[in-house]
Each structure stands twice: as C-alpha cells, then as structure tokens.
Structure 1
Amino acid sequence: MMKLLVIAVILATLAPAPPSYTETQATKGQILFYEQCAECHGAALDGNFGPALSGDGGNLQWATVSYVWQYVTAHMPAGNAGGLSTTDYLEIMAFLLKAHGNPAGKAPLTPQAALASKALLGP
C-alpha cells in the first residue's frame, strides 16, 4: 500500500502544471461560454447536443491543454469555426481551466502557453 502511495506522489510531481490564467479571463470566459457554447455543451458543461466537457462523462478530462486549444480554435463554435477572436478563445479556455479545478494565477493565459502546455485540462 505504501508503494502505491509513493508512486502516486512521484507521478503527481512529474505531471506538468497547467498554464496560468487570470480570474478576470475566466470570468469573461464564463460569459462567453454561455453565449457561444452552452447551447450545445450545456450551461454546466454536462452536454446537450454536443458532448459533456466535465465530469465522468466529459471528454476533456484526459485531453491536454494544447489539444483542447488547437481543437477549439479550429473547430468551435459549431457553425462559426474559428470565428471568435483570440482573446475570446483565451477567455473561454481560462474558464475551462477553472471549471476543471485549475486555480487562477497572476499571469494571463497566452496562445503560446496554451499551445505549449502538455498538462491535462483537469481531473
């Protein structure tokens, strides 16, 4: 049992940290999510016409931040793929980071940080 605990601690320390985002970005991103994404993905990220983005049924828990960033900026929102500003996408991404339990930091999320991040979006 102790070996499993030690292995879990080691693996947790090896996992890359998610990129920083600000609370302001996440707050603005939540509003944008409700306006641009909630119709398909649900206001609580629990899915509607589109897949759930959180919880056990969510399809993002094992996705890296980089993958989600690339997918969202190229394919979302449905019917207007790539149609939002970079700032809008960053704010929505910050909201998703927060919704998956990643704490806000002092540095804003940047496209470069999102693209480079190999951290999982969340648990």
Structure 2
Amino acid sequence: MDLLTEISAILVETLDLEEKEITGESRLRKDLDIESIDMLELALSFSSRFGIEVEEDEIFLQKVPLLIAEAEQEGREAAAVLADRFPFLAGERIREILSGGQADPKVQDLVDYIAWRLSRAS
C-alpha cells in the first residue's frame, strides 16, 4: 500500500469521508472541510500509524502566512524561507502557495511530509 492510499484511508476513517472525495490534489479545508480539531486528531493518527513525530505546524502549513509576512518585512525571499522551513515541499508547490496566497494543505502535502519524516527516522 502506498502512502497516498494509507493517508486517504486514515482521512476516511478519522473524518468519516468517502474515499472517492480524496485525491492528492484535495485541499484539506476547502475540499474536505477539515477544521482545527480534525487536524489534531489526524496528527495523532499519523503519528500512531507511522511511528513518527508529527508537528501540526509543519504538516498543516499553519505558519505559512506568518512566515511570508516576516520574510517580506525582513526583505528576504519568501520562497527561500518556506523551502527552509518546509523542506518536504517541492519548489513548484511553494510557488503555487505564494502565487495563490493559499496555505490550505493538499493531501499530497501530507504524503510528502510523512515520506520526509519517515526518511529522517531511518
């Protein structure tokens, strides 16, 4: 079973969603209606299932708006700041976040985060 399938199964089970609703491009807040309390439950589920420490701020991109604002205030490149803070995000995804001003994580971001954490744990 691949990570996307496993994470989708956790989303289905934890949030009572239908599997057909979930793709790698699904946005957590906009498409799946996930709220803050759901994020806490998901972080615990991911941590338990994969045996890794899950940082909510990282996996759910919670500090992205703050980091962008700080980078702009300090005259630093926001893309570089985000790449440093979220090394699991591809450059294309960072550009997408910056161009849309959206920090609404996609299911694929969760997959990338879990894969990154697993690679660091081994």
Q: Which has the higher helix share?
A: 2
Global fold match (TM > 0.5): no
TM-score by length of 1: 0.30
TM superposition score normalised by structure 2: 0.30
